[in-house]
Structure 1
C-alpha cells in the first residue's frame, strides 16, 4: 500500500492519539495514525486489571532494562519496563493516576530554554483535555480544572477506607490536604490527597477511549492503521537538510508498505520508541550509528540520551482491616474470574448446578459486584488500588519543585504478581510468603518515590533491525544525589505509618530477612540508613515514567521540530527537558494537546478550539 496524507502520526498512545484526533478535526486534513498494536482488549476498561495487561505481547512491548546500580534483587538483575502496545498506548496499561506535575517543573523547563513551556503556557492544554468530575472527598482549585473535556478524571467510588486513612496519616505527619493539580501545589510542606484518576464512571479513560473511539475513528479523513510496526522514517535529500517525507512499516502479514506525508511526520512512539525510530532512520550520534551499521543522515548526539525515570521502594505493612485481600479483589472481577484452575468455581459453567450452597453464594456475590461495576462504575475494581498520594520537599535540593512523592497501594498483591510483573522472588523477600501474600492476607504498600532524579540513562541501538528491541540502560542511582533523597523519602513513609489513625494501626514494615540479618535489624526496630540503601539497590522498582530521550533544546526545538530535519517532529514524554515531579501520563497528554495546536497554527489547520496564546 502506498498512500499520501497531510500528516502521519507514528504511535497511537498517550500523546499520539490526541495529535491525530485533534488534527483530524479539520475535514480537509488527511491524517494517518500508525500503531504497532491493536484495539485495546475489553479488560483494558477495568481499572484493577492493569497488571494483567503487562507481560502480554498484544498489549505490552515487554521491555526489560539494565537497572544500573539497582536491580540486585530482581530476576536477572533486569528492571521491568512495561510500555503500552495498542491504541491508547501506556495510557491503557498504567495505574491511572492523573498527576500534572509541580508548576515549578514547567517554569524550570522554560528557564532552561524551552520557550513557551512555562506553567502558565501549558495549563490551558491540561484543562483542554480534562473532564473532571468534582468530588467532596478532594480539594479542587476550580480555576485549574475543566469539567467538559473528553478525558475522564474522577475519584474512585466507593473510596477505600485505607486510602482515606493514608490521607489522614499524612496530614497528621505534617503534609496538608490540597489539590496537587492546583495552581499552587503547596510549599515545602507539600500536599496530600486521594488520587484524581483517568477514569469515567469507574472505567479507564485512556486516550483511545477519550479521543479516538467513536466520533474520531469514524472520520473519513482519519486513517487508523494498526498492527503496523514502523521500520524507519523516509528522509529525502534537499538543499538545506533532509526532509521527512513518509514512513515505511511492516504489516501483520509481513508485507512492507510506504506512507507519504505531504506536510509532516509526527513521531509519538514514546520515550523508548521515539529515539529508537530516529536512530533506525539515521538521526542520532554519528559514531553509534556507524557501529550499528546505520548510515548517519543527521548527526544528533543527544538522541536517546538523558533518559530519566522514577523508581520507588515499596514498604509492605501488615494491615488487618486496612489492606484489601486478593480474595476480595478476585471476587469483584465476577464469577468467570473465579473459575478453575485458579479459582474455586468449576471450570465449566455447566457444572454450576452441582455446586455447594457456599459456592453458589460466592458466585452470586461475585456476579453482583461485577454487575455493580459494569452498570454503575462502583466497586473494588473501579481503580487500580493505587488510590492516594503525597508530595513534599526533602530539603536536599531541587527547590523549584517537590522532589518526593509517596503513594498508597491498598493491597500487597500475590506470589504471581511479585514473581511476574515485579521480577522478585517472593520466597526471598518475605519471612513467611504464605502468610504475607496468602489470598486472605491484608497488607498495604506505601511507595517511597523520589521524583526529581539526577541520574541519567540512555537508549541505544542493539542492531539495525527495527524488530530488535533497543538497549535500555537506566543507570538508576548513578548520580550520588539520588540515594540520600530516597532514604529521606522512605523515612517520611515510616513517619506516615507511625501516624496512622489509632483505631486501625499498621504493623511494622516487612524487610527481606536476608537484608535484615545483614544489617542486624530486628522486626520493629528503626531501620538504619545502610539497610534502606541496600533495600533500594535490591528492590527499587520503576514507576513506569521514562522521559527526556528526545528532549527540547537537544533533539527538538521548543516547537518540537527535530533539529537538522525538515517536516519531522516528536511529540510525547521523550521531549520533556526534565521529568516532572509526579506521574507522567498527564504531562504526556498535555504535550499531545500543545503539539497539535502548534502544528495546526503552522499549517493553517482548523481545530474545533485553540486554547494557547
Structure 2
C-alpha cells in the first residue's frame, strides 16, 4: 500500500534538500524526500577531491551531451554532463564556487514576468541560507550577507600566492577588487576577488551537510527514501485538468513503489531530471512524446527547451615560480592519492613495509598534510583549486548584468581531469602533454567564460524507458553573439596575463590551431584564431538551467501550468541563466519555494 505524506519532494539535491528541511520545520507537516542516490561518501567532504566524484555511478548520473558547433577538440566531440546523484545532489559534486549572481539577473527575471523574483524579493533567501566567515585576505561586505545560515561560505586557507597575483593583475587592467557576492557586482567596472566557496572549516558545505545532516534527517516528520529512481508522476485526468497525486519509483531491488502526496508533489530533480520526468509522465511536446510511444497527457512544447549552460575556454600559460605542481596537490590529498601504476607509492599499502627512504619520506609528508586538513581544514585540500574570480562587462550587450567571467586555476590540473572528466583531447590542446602533466611542471589556467549566453539548447526524450537518458543538445555557439563575446573575454585574459606581478610565461596555444592560423609564441592571436580556440575547447561549467522556465512551464509561484498539485523547484525554472556559477541561486530557489508553499498552505517556519 502506498505511503502518503503532505508533500513529496523528488530529488535531495541543491534545492530539494533545502526545501524538504524548511517545510519540516513545522512539526505538523510530513514530507517524503525521494533521492536516487544515497548519502555522500567520506571523500566528498574534501574540496580538492571533487573531480573524483565524477564518473562514479554512486555519485554521478554521468550524462553526455552534444555541443553543436562546439567541442571540436573534444574526444568524440562529446561534452560531459555530470549531475550529482546523492543527497546534496550537484552541491556535493561541484567545484564549490559560491556566486549569488548580479542583482540585475533577478531584476531581469522579474521584468520577464517572474513576479516575486526580483533581487529585492529573493535577497532574504540568500542571506537566510549562508553563514559567511570574514577574511583578512579579501573584501567581504557585512551588509547583505548572512551569518547564521546552513551553508558555510568562506575563503580557503592558506591563500595560494598565485591567486593573490591574479587579483593584482586584474586590478591592473581596471577591474576593482571587492565582494562579488555583495556591492562589487554593482560596480560598472566589474569586480575581482579570491573565490568564496561553499565550505566550512575547509570542508564541503553541500545542502546535505547544511540542511539535512543531523537535526533535520532525524525529524519524525521527514522521511528520506534513498536508492529510489523515480520513473513517473502519478497523474489523474487529462488535458488541462490534470492533477498529480504522487510518484512511482523503482527501489534498490528493482521493485516498483508508489508514494502519494495529500497536498503537493515538488520536482527538484534538476535541469535534466525534472523535464525528463514530466516527459516520461506525458507532459511535453506531443510530437516528441508520441515518437517514443508515450501518450501525451498535456501538450507543452516548452518542456525541456530553452536549455542554457555556461561554457568556458581554458587558456593555459607557462608559469615558472607561480603555478602549483601536480606533485604538491597529490601530496596534499594523502597517501591513497599517490597509489597506482603512475604514483610514487605502491597500489597495495601492505607493500609500504619495504619503501625506500625517499618514498617513505613522501608517504610521511602526505600523511602530515592529510592530518593538517583533517584537524584544521587548511592546505591545498581545502579548495577545488579554482581560487580566483572576476566579473566585468564586455560592452557588447546585456547591460543589466556583467556578461563576462574569468576564473583562475593555479595549476594545469591533471590528465585525469582534462581528458577523463572534461573529455578534451589533450594531444590537440597541448603541444607536449607529457611535459605539461609532469609532476613538477608549473603552469596555470585562466578561464574565459560567457556569463549570459544567447544560444539555447534542448532536451529531447529518446525512450519511454526511464533508465535511458534524454538527448542533451547544448548547442554551444548556436547564436553568433556568443562567439563575439567569448573573443572579447579571451582578449581580457591576455591583458591580465600581460600585467601579472613579476611576469607570467607564454600562452600555450593549441598546436593544431597555431599552425592553421600561422601563430607563433608571442604573437597577438587573430579574432579568427580565438574563435577557433573557443569552438574547439570551450568546456561546460556544469550550469544547466532554464528547461522548465517560469512563464512557459511553471508560473511565478513555481506551479506547473496545467497540472494541479505539482511544482518544480530547481535550476530548470530559471527564466534566464544568472551571470555566474549557479549553485547558490539553485539553493535560493529551494528556499524561495519553501516561502511560496508555506504561504499557500499556512505552514509555520522555525524561528530559533
* Band the TM-score falls in, shorter-chain normalisation: over 0.9
Question: Which has the larger displacement, 377-386 or 339-348?
Answer: 339-348
2:488 matched residue in structure 1? 488
Distance 1:57 1:332 in 2: 25
Q: Does 1:516 align with 2:514?
A: yes
Give 1:29-178 correspondences, 5 Å limit: 29-178=29-178
Equivalent-residue separation in structure 1 for 2:348 and 2:75 (angstroms): 36
Distance in 2, matches of 1:521 and 1:158, equals 39
CA distance in 2, matches of 1:414, 1:239: 52
Alignment partners' CA distance in 1, 2:431 and 2:346: 33
Corresponding residue SS for 1:40 = coil
Distance 1:596 1:352 in 2: 53
Alignment partners' CA distance in 1, 2:415 and 2:570 = 34
* Paired position in structure 1 for 2:327: 327
CA distance in 1, matches of 2:125, 2:340: 47
Cα distance between partner residues in 1 of 2:352 and 2:297:
65
Give me the whole-angstrom Cα distance separating, in 2, the residues matched to 1:519 and 1:592: 48
* Residue aligning to 2:572: 574
Question: For 1:522 and 1:342, how far apart are their aligned partners in 2?
Answer: 33
CA distance, structure 2, for counterparts of residue 86 and residue 255 of structure 1: 20
Q: Contact between 2:71 and 2:536, CA under 8 Å: does it hold in 1?
A: yes
The structure-2 alpha-carbon separation of the partners of 1:340 and 1:304, relative to structure 1 and needing over 3 Å to count, comes to closer
Instruction: Report the equivalent of 2:596.
Output: 598
Deviation for aligned residue 1:511: 1.1
Q: Is the 8 A contact 2:184 2:191 kept in 1?
A: no
Distance, in Å, in 2 between the alignment partners of 1:358 and 1:50 is: 29
- Aligned to 2:220, the other structure's residue is in SS state coil
**Is this contact kept in 1: 2:326–2:439, CA < 8 A?**
yes
8 A Cα contact 1:40 1:86, kept in partner:
yes
Q: 1:219 to 1:333 in 2, by over 3 A?
A: same
Q: How far does the alpha carbon of each residue in 1:365-405 deviate from its partner, in whole angstroms, 9 at most, with x for none?
A: 11110000001001011000001100000000000000000
Structure 1 range deviating more: 528-537 or 600-609:
600-609
CA shift in 2, pair 1:527/1:222, >3 Å: same
CA deviation profile, 1:156-214 (whole Å, cap 9, x unmatched): 00001111110000001110001111145133310000111000000000000100111
User: Does the CA contact (< 8 Å) of 2:240 and 2:298 recur in 1?
Assistant: no
On the 8 A contact 1:103/1:183 being kept in 2, the answer is no
Q: Does structure 2 retain, via aligned residues, the 8 Å contact 1:265–1:567?
A: yes
Q: How does 1:173-572 map to 2 (within 5 A)?
A: 173-183=173-183, 185-237=185-237, 241-502=241-502, 505-572=503-570
Q: CA deviation at 1:239?
A: 10
Retained in 2: the 8 A contact 1:17–1:88? Answer: yes
SS of the aligned residue for 2:14 comes to coil
Structure 2 distance, partners of 1:429, 1:490, is: 16
3-state SS of 2:539 partner:
strand
Q: Residue 292 of structure 1: CA displacement? A: 1.9
- Equivalents in 2 of 1:369, 1:133: separation in Å? 24
Q: Which segment drifts farther, 430-439 or 383-392? A: 430-439
What secondary structure is seen at the aligned counterpart in 2 of 1:143? coil
Alpha-carbon RMSD across the aligned residues, in angstroms, is 1.3
CA distance in 2, matches of 1:337, 1:392: 37
Distance 1:525 1:551 in 2: 44
Q: CA deviation at 1:137?
A: 1.3
- Give TM-score, length-normalised by structure 1: 0.98
Q: Deviations over 1:553-581 (max 9, x none)?
A: 11000000000000000000110100000
Partner of 2:21: 21
**TM-score, normalised by the number of residues in structure 2:** 0.98
Paired with 2:234 and 2:251, the residues of 1 have a C-alpha distance of 17
Counterpart secondary structure, 1:481: helix
Q: Is the 8 A contact 1:144 1:181 kept in 2?
A: no
Residue 352 (structure 1) shift = 2.8
Separation in 1 of the partners of 2:584 and 2:50? 17
The count of corresponding residues between Structure 1 and Structure 2 is: 608
Q: Is the 8 A contact 2:239 2:298 kept in 1?
A: no
Residue 144 of structure 1 aligns to a residue in which SS? coil
**CA deviation map 1:458-487 (0-9, x unaligned):** 011001111100010011100111100000
